[in-house]
Structure 1
């Protein structure tokens, strides 16, 4: 990876990761942070993977139906071309991006950009998901959000898949997934 050298006095950016299970409020928190950036009149650019068309093709939309315009992209390197003069970059559903996303986020941060990334940290089998482990390792700030287990009411960190599909990426909502605690997740998968 080539990183352009910083000029004396230039700001160095950073990476923030918002992670957790489905229904934990990741997108809601991303939208909240990005709206604060807009209120501060900072230049912001927002991206999402083109594959995520559950709610809207060109908006990031939370389960509470809050939304913010975004640019759908097919490959993480497009972010470098589309970021323009943004001071803040928002990225939703990071787990659906390719493995180059952590390097791209590094490059953006070295350019002096605040990069805010949201995504699932684990897949439906409880395994690290896509580029998220590398993003978590590189991030200066990490926020792990939790849902409430629909079975017992405890803190939920897992996204339990209620169907028998076995592909890693299966877009869906409450019809396919539910948040579960460790115990209820393991019981459902045994």
Structure 2
């Protein structure tokens, strides 16, 4: 079998893939950072595929949209397994709101990275109770790079790493924006409703 000289190096030393996780609370700029990295990959003429959970329709049915209204086209998927079928020969895979995927996303991201793809993931590291959120701890553990971004506490102005829920709902997944959540520092998060009286 004849192999073009330009491809010999690629076959002998296949490109190394890796996983990057961007995590933090709501309103911390996770999606904005994800979009920035994906746009830079596009400028570098890399083939990019972007996915989000189909249940996330807060801003747009298809696009990933940050709180400051920066957006990028994506493919909504019902399950993590669809991602493997849709990545093809791309170089970079972007995932937003990864905490909404089940734990199979961990093996899927590992598979993609093992096959030479750069995988960039954004998601909430903690839920509204301040507990690790879904698959995110496992994704952070297997990632080569983890970036934790922070918001500003709406009550005191300190660094915020918690998403405080304003509604009484106790279900873990409750889609919403400033109508349901606000960013809080550890102290104001722990004080709960009392924090507003101080």
TM-score (norm 1): 0.95
Aligned with residue 55 of structure 2, among 37, 51, 55: 51
Please give the secondary structure, in 2, of the residue aligned with 1:27. Answer: helix
Deviations 1:31-90 (A, max 9, x none): 000000111110000000001000111100000001000000011111100001110000
In 2, Cα distance between equivalents of 1:189 and 1:81 = 46
Aligned residues: 185
Q: Give the aligned CA root-mean-square deviation in angstroms.
A: 1.3
Among candidates 66, 71, 76, match of residue 75 of structure 2: 71
The answer as to 2:87 corresponding to 1:83 is yes
Contiguous gaps of at least 5 residues in structure 1 = 1-6
Which segments of structure 1 move beyond 3 Å, counting only runs of 4 or more?
A: none
Q: CA deviation at 1:8?
A: 3.5
Instruction: Provide the residue aligned with 2:142 in structure 1.
Output: 138
> Is the counterpart of residue 151 in structure 1 residue 155 in structure 2?
yes
**Is 1:21 matched up with 2:32?**
no
Bigger proportion of residues as helix: 2
User: Is residue 2:84 matched to residue 1:117?
Assistant: no
Compared CA separation, residues 79 and 164, structure 1 to 2 (3 A): same
1:189 deviates by 6.8
**How much does 1:11 deviate?**
1.5
**Counterparts of 1:72 and 1:155 in 2: how far apart (Å)?**
32
The higher radius of gyration belongs to 2
| Structure 2 CA distance for aligned equivalents of residues 48 and 175 of structure 1 | 22
- What is the Cα deviation at residue 17 of structure 1? 0.1
* Closer, same or farther: CA 189–99 of 1 in aligned 2, 3 Å: farther
